[in-house]
Structure 1
């Protein structure tokens, strides 16, 4: 297995970036309109807003939290301070403009999409793993601004480094796009072989290509630019490793933890591990889907999403080469 390290290293050194035409770079003529953002926490911590007034206006915000704990949180000066710092790092006017652009592209590809009501709030970093919640049924989009205060923020001490990578203001839009994409891509619990999982995630990433055609790829992956570059440079080696170990049609759930789920790195069980980028299974699924569209550029998104992983893979003719 020692040769794998050499192969990965050589692939990285020999990487060449391909400049392909972006089929998703479509001019959008129908704007989404002005997006109004409601800052819930601003009222939550406002002394001139009574708890009764707040609960009447936002009856769903308290959730299962007891009245006693709800009041304690509201009167906690540290939580109020954290909220103010988070709010100072997010330009709501700019965010509204960026969301309008995102929503317009979603609606272009999915005409039934309706702009959600947008709310920002602070969970005091409790929701850092899932700081954006999109509910298409209720038409709500919640953005936890305490999850985007900057990867070096002192409030993030104790949080795993691989989560901190995407806890910057620039990650709000791609994480929102990801949440919307997840709500659209069909998920089949009965098809959970490794290829199924790679292509499922690849479809989510492809929708992000469609929704955010000008955004750097590493932001869509919740990764650093260096991590994305490592995956791109090592694409051939990653694929060879999967093939040599007969992983494509394996139902082994451990492959999800090794190559799909967030983590500090991927787990090849070789010396290359700590140098590697996380979620290389997601990256590979994305490249399979991109190859499919390279071969079949006129395929409607609805047909693409409905395809099985095996059918899509076969029609992609994916086989990366040096």
Structure 2
């Protein structure tokens, strides 16, 4: 099978072609009154330093009870208000020299927090346009000590700002706990697409329904299409977390990737490791050339869903997200890259 290497000129032409096509997801949101709330939880937390820790924590917990528990138990893992060691563990977290340095760095990177807040509100206005009956989450920003980038729970999204300090942030290199291919997406411009994908995953994904590689590809593709809908102005490379060269590689090798999956009888495999190979983040896709990116199965699933929605403009976004007949989506898409 002949794989095509990235050719910048061809990639630029392809990108210009896609840019010129009318974006049907670019809808008017001027009449959307519903607005997501963005809470700077980290600022309130660090403002407690020097106060009676337990009493101040109880007050903060009363103000944000559900998220407070999620943050202390799941994100920074210091337990809860009723635990004996909680006050001391929280004090150690707030006064730790590394954490205070990270707080200073985070304040510098996010020196205009209203920009992020406004961008999040705009993304969820698009969401409300498509899902007017759905309740919007409350979004919390904070420092996590380099734990999960985005966490979700019922009506809650949490964003660890210290996971988006930039590709060249020295902390990421010094800690040596995150592979380089993941660090490439640890910058503030990646927050919006991470949040949109994570929220879609919380609201619409049902892992028990995706049992083979094809169904996993299309399920992830549906989530990427939701990202399209929430962020219609964002470039594809940023949505999926590829470099420009990686995106160009996928565009030029789409037929070869699809043929490979068919010829190697991968589409209907239920083997967990085969599914992970094409779906999970990785520096490259095992079995494909080394200049391929990871998550190529997600990218292909995304193109299948896009083609399905293009061929069926009568299908609404809620109808798409509620459709778990993955084979039917593939069949009705007419997907056959050449």
Do Structure 1 and Structure 2 share a fold, with TM-score over 0.5? yes
How much has 1:84 moved relative to structure 2? 1.8
Deviations 1:205-256 (A, max 9, x none): 0111111111011111122222222111211111111111111111122222
2:128 paired residue among 82, 102, 107:
107
Deviations 1:232-290 (A, max 9, x none): 1211111111111111111122222211100111111x6x1x21111100000000001
Deviations 1:128-173 (A, max 9, x none): xxx11232x2x22211000100011001011211111211010111
Give TM-score scaled by structure 2 length.
Answer: 0.85
CA RMSD of aligned residues (A): 2.1
Correspondences of 1:244-263 after superposition (within 5 Å) = 244-263=263-282
SS across alignment from 2:44: helix
Distance 1:228 1:75, change over 3 A: same
SS across alignment from 1:71: helix
Q: Which residue of 2 aligns with 1:174?
A: 193
Count of matched residue positions in the alignment of Structure 1 and Structure 2: 309
2:248 paired residue among 185, 205, 229:
229
Q: Which residue of 2 aligns with 1:286?
A: 302
User: Contact (CA 8 Å) 1:182, 1:204: kept in 2 or not?
Assistant: yes
SS across alignment from 1:25: coil
Give TM-score scaled by structure 1 length.
Answer: 0.89
Distance 1:114 1:88, change over 3 A: farther
2:336 paired residue among 309, 319, 322:
319
Matched, 1:22 2:23: yes
Correspondences of 1:70-81 after superposition (within 5 Å) = 70-81=90-101
Q: Measure, in 1, the Cα distance between the counterparts of 2:94 and 2:328.
A: 53
Correspondences of 1:70-219 after superposition (within 5 Å) = 70-90=90-110, 91-127=112-148, 131-135=149-153, 137=154, 139-157=155-173, 158=176, 159-219=178-238
How much has 1:305 moved relative to structure 2? 2.2
Q: Measure, in 1, the Cα distance between the counterparts of 2:121 and 2:219.
A: 27
Distance 1:55 1:89, change over 3 A: same
Q: Which residue of 1 aligns with 2:54?
A: 52
Matched, 1:7 2:7: no
Which range moved further: 15-24 or 65-74?
A: 15-24
Q: Measure, in 2, the Cα distance between the counterparts of 1:106 and 1:85.
A: 32
Distance 1:239 1:13, change over 3 A: farther
Which range moved further: 222-231 or 195-204?
A: 222-231
How much has 1:62 moved relative to structure 2? 2.3
Q: Measure, in 2, the Cα distance between the counterparts of 1:37 and 1:186.
A: 24
Q: Which blocks of at least 5 consecutive residues in structure 2 are unaligned? A: 62-67, 79-84
Q: Measure, in 2, the Cα distance between the counterparts of 1:293 and 1:176.
A: 23
Q: Which blocks of at least 5 consecutive residues in structure 1 are unaligned? A: none
Structure having the higher helix fraction is: 2
